[in-house]
A and B are shown apart, each in its own frame.
Chain A
């Protein structure tokens, strides 16, 4: 029984990453109608930016500032992508956005792999979050606890921003009817760019969070992104709350699989996706188009 609690908690930790990443995807899909396959590559870039900030010849910027700086840097990169490439795809079929972002992901990963190899680079856990506590049923590393709490806060804040604030209302209105919103004097293209930047920033933030746990590797995002897409599909494309809840829930389910039948742990998410698509094609919280 104790082991079960431990696996539940571990699942929750992985769920935090799924939630943060699928949240970014949901924001981008919901507001821009783009299936952002570059998300994994941008997550990887977040981790690499954190690494560069710490290990360079000029300044050594640690983990805490990196939590803010890396998402901004990668977010700006994302906004440049949106301005120079993605914006021309507005109104076209989803497939075009998917192919473009997939291509971008391959290029970015290829460039990083060329220079840094596939085994990756080490990034240490910040001193303040080292060590762990004994919960009785398991030894919980402090850093993992921090990841769960922090990503939960970020997820709820993002949900609040989009669903409950005036800015969020503008955003949602701009996706429903851009012409009308523009008539009210709101710069819709700029808002779209900023939204893409926000979604990308969330991916980069997840990258920084994962840097001390996993190796900082060029393919860290490629391995994860497929699972995250499954999470988004199960939760319902474009649903903010749906993707947060599904992210955490699937982390837990995957954790339990690792305990009861470890060999199936990397397929369980996809089995669930198939089941959900059969029963409810719009996803658990999605609305019919």
Chain B
């Protein structure tokens, strides 16, 4: 045989072996893909930190010692649904990725949700906000792990209306996420006896908000609800201070804020803001221990955001499920069904469950940003002012439009 035919013979054998091992029930290989924004306005709250969290979950799971082989890859979807779906297809078809983690940006998440369902992979979404992922768009292959727009609206919106903020004006990011957050919050405001006066939609990734802020100011609404995230929110808050909006008696409501945003703003500007998260590094010993290890490995020493913490927590549960199954069946719907059966438990989110619609349940915490003099050190930013229990934090199944829910 000449070298060429030897090579093709070897390649053929390798392919044959690869396909037989895929069919075996006791297959102990796992491929994890972190699909996120690695370079844009959401890169700090997900991005490389999410990949690090996944890496830590793989190390902490101890799977390697038990004979498992876990591979991790990461890619940048650039906040574009078309790029996200192209990567998703390639990952499933060529790379044989089992589970997608992070997938922040609701527009990308809804698109990837469809691909993952069509090809029977798994999506554990820890970054996207839209509550549609477990409502009309719910899927037997998807778990929505950390938070959603319904929960944010329910917690922050209700608290603010109760505190007297009964007229609202929305500043909304003009894509799936902003629309969902505005819709869900407006519903809560109206239900709690408040009124929505108006809203303005701005393009994603806007640098200057002064035009929009002037319109919000002119509306005379008591609350200006920011249905945006990341860099858009920090710029809005910073510029609102400049235009004397808070000094003029209107209150800003950060409907979705992450610790990385508060860090970027500085306490001087961010103090007093109320918002909801499901994870904070300084909640208990478990969260503190993880966050300390995480921060030491981050290039800018950042504490984990709830999105990144969710990647860790979601993967730990996924790995436990595969261990319980005794091998990786490479069958997304089957694994997700098993994940829903098993209760979740990890140091970051505590004990929880996953509902039939794919919604992971855990408590929601209402925080207030500390004043600079209250903060004892770097990243000491939040005061806990209220907790919504897990069973009340998210959309009740009775209101669900998800076809997976049997009524």
Contacts and interface: CB of A to CB of B under 8 A. Distances in A.
A39 interface: no
Nearest to B213: A10
B214 A7 contact: yes
A126 interface: no
B242 interface: yes
A6 to B, nearest CB: 5
Contacts of B200: 262
Interface string B215-252: 10110000000000011001100110011100010000
B315 to A, nearest CB: 23
A223 interface: yes
Nearest to B210: A10
Given A117-B43, A139-B248, A259-B215, A132 B210 contact: no
B320 interface: no
Contacts of A266: 203, 206
B264 interface: yes
Given A118-B43, A132-B243, A259 B203 contact: no
B201 interface: yes
Interface string B155-178: 000000000000000000010000
Interface in A2-31: 3, 6-7, 10-11, 13-14
Interface string B90-134: 000000000000000000000000000000000000000000000
B39 A118 contact: yes
A144 B210 contact: yes
A138 interface: yes
A136 B266 CA distance: 32
A238 to B, nearest CB: 26
A87 interface: no
A119 B261 contact: yes
B199 to A, nearest CB: 10
Given A132-B243, A215-B234, A117 B44 contact: yes
B231 A124 contact: no
Interface residues of B, number: 45
A255 B206 CA distance: 13
B260 A119 contact: yes
A124 B41 CA distance: 21
Contact of B234 (A120, A143, A263): A120
B269 A122 contact: yes
A259 B207 contact: no
Contacts of B230: 119
Nearest to A224: B207
Nearest to A266: B203
A265 interface: yes
B246 to A, nearest CB: 12
B300 interface: yes
Contacts of B203: 262-263, 265-266
A219 B205 CA distance: 11
Contacts of A282: none
Interface stretch (A108-116, A164-172, A185-193): A108-116
B264 A119 contact: yes
B125 to A, nearest CB: 20
Contacts of A223: 205, 207
B338 to A, nearest CB: 36
Contacts of A10: 208, 210-211, 214
Most B-side CB within 10 Å, residue of A114, A120, A223: A120
B214 A144 contact: no
A143 B264 CA distance: 21
B201 A125 contact: no
Interface residues of A, number: 41
Contacts of A259: 211, 215
A149 interface: no
Contacts of B215: 3, 259
Interface string A207-229: 00000011101011001100000
Nearest to A259: B211
B334 interface: no
A141 interface: yes
B242 A122 contact: no
Contacts of B268: 122, 124
Contact of A144 (B217, B242, B264): B242
A255 B208 CA distance: 10
A40 B128 CA distance: 30
A214 B263 contact: no
Given A132-B242, A220-B207, A113 B43 contact: yes
A131 B243 CA distance: 8
B329 interface: no
Contacts of A263: 174, 201, 203
Contacts of B40: 118, 219
5 contacts: A3-B215, A113-B39, A117-B302, A119-B230, A131-B244
Given A144-B210, A215-B265, 17 more contacts: A6-B214, A6-B218, A115-B300, A116-B300, A118-B40, A118-B43, A118-B47, A119-B234, A119-B261, A120-B234, A121-B264, A122-B268, A139-B244, A143-B242, A219-B40, A263-B201, A265-B206
Interface of B: 39-45, 47, 174, 200-203, 205-208, 210-212, 214-215, 217-218, 230-231, 234-235, 238-239, 242-244, 248, 260-261, 263-266, 268-269, 299-300, 302
Closest 8 CB pairs of A and B: A258-B211, A119-B264, A122-B266, A118-B43, A266-B203, A119-B44, A117-B44, A141-B242
Interface of A: 3, 6-7, 10-11, 13-14, 113-122, 124-125, 131-132, 138-139, 141, 143-144, 213-215, 217, 219-220, 223-224, 255, 258-259, 262-263, 265-266
